[in-house]
Amino acid sequence: MSRKVSEKEYEKTLTFRLRQWLSGAKDPFLDTVEMKPQQQIRESEEVIREHELQHQRIVEHSYDVEHNAQVRLFRKFYKLFSVIFCLCLVFILLVGVSSLPQYGHEENPVNNEVSARYIERGLQETGAINIVTGMILDYRAFDTLGESHVLFLATCTVLILMRRDKKKYQETAEHNDRIYEPKNDVILQTTARVLVPFIELFGIYVILGGHLGPGGGFSGGAICGAGLILYLNAFGFAKTERFFTGKTYKCMCFGALACYSLAKTYSFYTGANHIESVIPLGTPGAILSSGLILILDICVGLVVSGTMYTFYVMFRKGGY
């Protein structure tokens, strides 16, 4: 059953007024509350200008740090507070340290069954001679997975901040840092020509030998990145861009991190569900041993070397 309502009647209903109020067409207080429409204020140009000047002066005055007593007081108070905070920190830390177990002793609480198992059975369980590598890439691999993503993330933030689009950066000379480069420095170029292959070789050696001795993906990657930076400095962007561009870095980073994540998913999944891992550990001491650790080291090395080089390029020039 519906009934027809005339427009006049409808306008009296609550629904209509609510809708009007919602759409802003009518003010519910109109006619009920006495309101005077505001007078339009007309100001002459001069007055406006004077106001602007005044505003300017107030801004200048309030941000005049040297002469603003309030700001100075606040700063002094802040400084005092911070200094007290730091002194308290030193005191608390020294008190804490003074009753810690003395360093260098075997019976300290740190040397418990956890480290004992790493040392005694690490070689059999991970296949890595370097116990530290075995620990960070197998026992506590979740940390390392996070850590390599920290690096990746830092690169992304640097890209956000420093990358310029091609059109823009050619506008000004300051942005194009090439002019600061030595154009044809014979000494630098000859030295680099001799040194860079050795640095790269050493970096690769450190990466590949991570499970056999000191080193690993991170340090080796940093060495490789440093070699690339030296090469860049000696020969300029034109040469390096032939083999290393932003696209190369993206693909490399994606490939390495994807490989890392996949490998770790496999080992986490099998570990948690108590499935035997099918990856052989190999004979300890051989270069192709210790299961996934070698692959992970290579992945980390790729990410790190690319990241270091990218940091440098972004800081220098803001684009590949």
Q: What residues from 287 to 306 belong to the interface with other proteins (CB under 8 A)? A: 304
Part of the chain binding other proteins (CB under 8 A), chosen from 10-18, 46-54, 188-196, 273-281: 273-281
# chain residues binding other proteins, by CB under 8 A: 127
Q: Does 92 bind other proteins (CB under 8 A)?
A: yes
Q: Show the tokens assigned to 137.
A: 């890439």
CA 111, 114, 116, 122 torsion-angle sign: negative
Residue placing its CB nearer to other proteins in the complex, 89 or 287: 89
Here the contacts of 58-65 (C-beta below 8 Å, separation 24 or greater) are: none
Residue found by looking up tokens 């290393």 in the block: 244
CA 64, 68, 71, 73 torsion-angle sign: positive
Residue placing its CB nearer to other proteins in the complex, 197 or 285: 285
Residue found by looking up tokens 């823009």 in the block: 168
**What does the per-residue mask of binding to other proteins show for 96-115, with x meaning CB under 8 A?**
xxxxxxxxxxx-xxxxxxxx
Part of the chain binding other proteins (CB under 8 A), chosen from 8-16, 123-131, 183-191, 235-243: 123-131
Residue placing its CB nearer to other proteins in the complex, 1 or 60: 60
| 47: DSSP letter | H
Residues 212-271 that bind other proteins (CB under 8 A): 213-216, 218-219, 222-223, 225-226, 229, 250-251, 253-254, 257-258, 261, 264-265, 267-271
Q: Does 117 bind other proteins (CB under 8 A)?
A: yes
Least Å from the CB of residue 60 to other proteins: 8
Here the contacts of 242-245 (C-beta below 8 Å, separation 24 or greater) are: 244/309, 244/320, 245/320
What CA–CA distances, in Å, run from 164 to 58, 169, 180, 246? 37, 6, 18, 12
Residues 27-66 that bind other proteins (CB under 8 A): 27, 37-38, 40-41, 59, 63, 65
Part of the chain binding other proteins (CB under 8 A), chosen from 4-12, 46-54, 139-147, 187-195: 139-147
The only residue of 143, 197, 286, 287 in contact with other proteins, by rule CB under 8 A? 143
Which amino acid would we find at residue 243?
A: F
- Return all residues near 195 (Cβ < 8 A) that are at least 6 apart: 227, 230
Residue placing its CB nearer to other proteins in the complex, 5 or 173: 173
Contact status, residue 147 vs residue 216, Cβ threshold 8 Å = no
Q: Could you give the 3-state DSSP secondary structure of residue 111?
A: coil
Residues 166-205 that bind other proteins (CB under 8 A): 172-174, 179-180
